[in-house]
Amino acid sequence: MKGAYQRILNGIRPLQKNLLLIISLTFMMNNRISFNIIIFSFIAFGCFGQVPVDQPEMPVMYKVTVNPVAGHDTIIWYSSTEGLVDYYAVCYSKITNPNQPYILSEPIDSIYPPDTVYVNQDTESGIHSIGYSVIAVNIIDEHSVVQSVYDYPDSTVYADVEFDSCNAAVTIRWNPYNKWKGHIASYRVYQSVDNGPPQVIAIIDVEEVTSFKVMSVTENSTLGYYVEIIHEDRIRSSTSNMAVIYTGMLEVPDFIVGHSANEGADNHIILDFSVDPDTELSEYKLLRSSDISGDFDTITSFRQHDTRIMLTDDVDYTSGIYYYKLMAINNCGQDIQESNVINNIILTGTNDDLVNHLSWNPVEDWPGETGRYVLYRTHMNGTGQTDSVLLNTELNYSDDVSAFFTENNVYSGRFCYQIRAVEINNPFTQNSTACSNEFCINVTPGVRLPNAFIPNNPNGVNSLFQPVFRLQPAEYEMTIFNRWGNKIWEGNIPWDGTVNNKYVSEGVYIYQLKVFYPDNTITLSGHITVLYR
């Protein structure tokens, strides 16, 4: 060690010699600076100092590359061909801004021939690009040394990645290999998924390119990327650092299920949806259309974290058939997941004597299928009795209500109906049910009145004027007027043709009949002829 040090000290120029002597004294006094550091300080002065006239041939760089897995840099150069070289000084430059000149730092090591390879274990090539140069140094005699010209450094390729969560894409960017500009054949892009072995995902046969976008990357994974630059000689290549990124994304719901669009307060529509409980999204919008295959318009947007979402649409329930779906929005404002379509069920009907004919529209787009319909019928007979009829998947039903019209039934024929659709085979959640509006039909009770009667008929047949009811009312009230419109009789019993216990004259009279049911009042009027024998 001392011999090498003495040879260097004897062979350098005076100014360099004085500098090295000062450093040596510091070493001997403090004993805290290694001999190699002294040597490197001397070499650094050589990198920055004036170049002697008789310098050795400048080494030619073969390549600089980064081990993307181990993280160290490898520098390889051709040996000087003219004269002997005592050693090579490896200098490096930090390249923090590609648009700025290299900032030369101190030499990092000395390499002695015939070695022409240096591995830098302590590197920052994973943070920014590093420029490497190699200087040939010869010790001439005890008074001088000569060194090769300092060459513009070869740079490592520094790669960085950016994750676009909105489009599930990764963009890799890197700086060009500065010394190989115009001599690059192609680029290979490698990808590692969750620390797995790197695989080539792209080969780019372009002379100069500094970025590549990977689409549809694996979400919520650790992805590593590096670039290999292939020289046109097809022998040399230089790899970049491994750039790692985690593709964390908010969990998109696997499903959004629309259950029902039922009638709510004030005849509005209440909408019921279920959302995958594992989702991390909270932005939604409600869409509506009057045609299941038509354009859907946004009627409201909102934030909600609940897995069961209930919404109200203020339209009148029976004003039309409306179709709804719920759309989940990601953090980029993009539509990311939508529900099935749900719609309201509108029940309508007509009456034909004692038969009520009912019809309704189906639920069009359940995730499962409609397994059956249940028809609920409520007869307004004071108890509000509700009966149900289990139907298949037909969309109409005829209800014969003649059994309700008996002499003992004192209520009118008002019947109210509601349809309930029942889903089966829902693959995401429990099966849904959906209800229609309530639809009521008044079956007018049959009331028959004779157009003539004989008050004094000896056998008593047709001797009273009285209504005959199909459905017995709670009570009725009848008024008789003469042909001049004067009221001559009223009561809630049959009229026997008398006024003040005396038979009225033969002729035509006017009647008015009010029939009172607990849920309805019917008023009838007409003419009655009084005859005598």
Q: Is the pLDDT of residue 331 over 50?
A: yes
pLDDT tens digits along 438-479: 999 887 667 889 999 999 998 989 999 999 877 667 789 999
Q: Is the pLDDT of residue 139 over 60?
A: yes
pLDDT bucket at 21, cuts 50 / 70 / 90 = very low
Question: Minimum mean pLDDT among 49-58, 98-107, 247-256: which range?
Answer: 49-58
pLDDT tens digits along 252-269: 899 999 999 999 989 999
3-state secondary structure of 240: coil
Question: Minimum mean pLDDT among 49-63, 202-216, 278-292, 434-448: which range?
Answer: 49-63
Q: How far is CA 30 from CA 4, 45, 49, 464, in A?
A: 21, 22, 27, 142
Question: Are 496 and 455 spatial neighbours (Cβ–Cβ below 8 Å)?
Answer: yes
pLDDT tens digits along 180-197: 988 999 999 999 999 999
Mean pLDDT value across residues 295-323: 96
Nearest to 327 by CA among 375, 366, 285: 285
pLDDT tens digits along 342-361: 999 999 999 988 899 999 99
pLDDT tens digits along 24-50: 333 333 333 343 333 444 444 444 344
Q: Is the pLDDT of residue 158 over 90?
A: yes
For residue 490, give both structure tokens: 């009223």
pLDDT at 442: 80
Mean pLDDT value across residues 233-243: 96
3-state secondary structure of 38: helix
| 283-322 exposure pattern, b = at least 16 Cβ within 10 A, e = fewer | bbbbbbbeeeeeebeeeeeeeeeeeebebebeeebbeeeb
For residue 234, give both structure tokens: 């097809």
pLDDT at 50: 43
pLDDT tens digits along 51-82: 444 678 888 999 999 999 999 999 999 986 65
pLDDT bucket at 151, cuts 50 / 70 / 90 = confident
Give every strand in the sheet of 256-263, ordered side by side. 256-263, 269-275, 308-313
Torsion, Cα of 204, 205, 210, 216 (10° steps):
-20
The rounded distance, in Å, linking the Cα atoms of 22 and 212 is 53
Q: Is the pLDDT of residue 1 over 90?
A: no
Nearest to 90 by CA among 44, 56, 128: 44
pTM score, whole prediction: 0.58
Delineate the domains of the chain, giving CATH numbers in brackets: 2-155 (2.60.40.10), 159-246 (2.60.40.10), 256-338 (2.60.40.10), 347-443 (2.60.40.10), 447-530 (2.60.40)
pLDDT at 189: 98
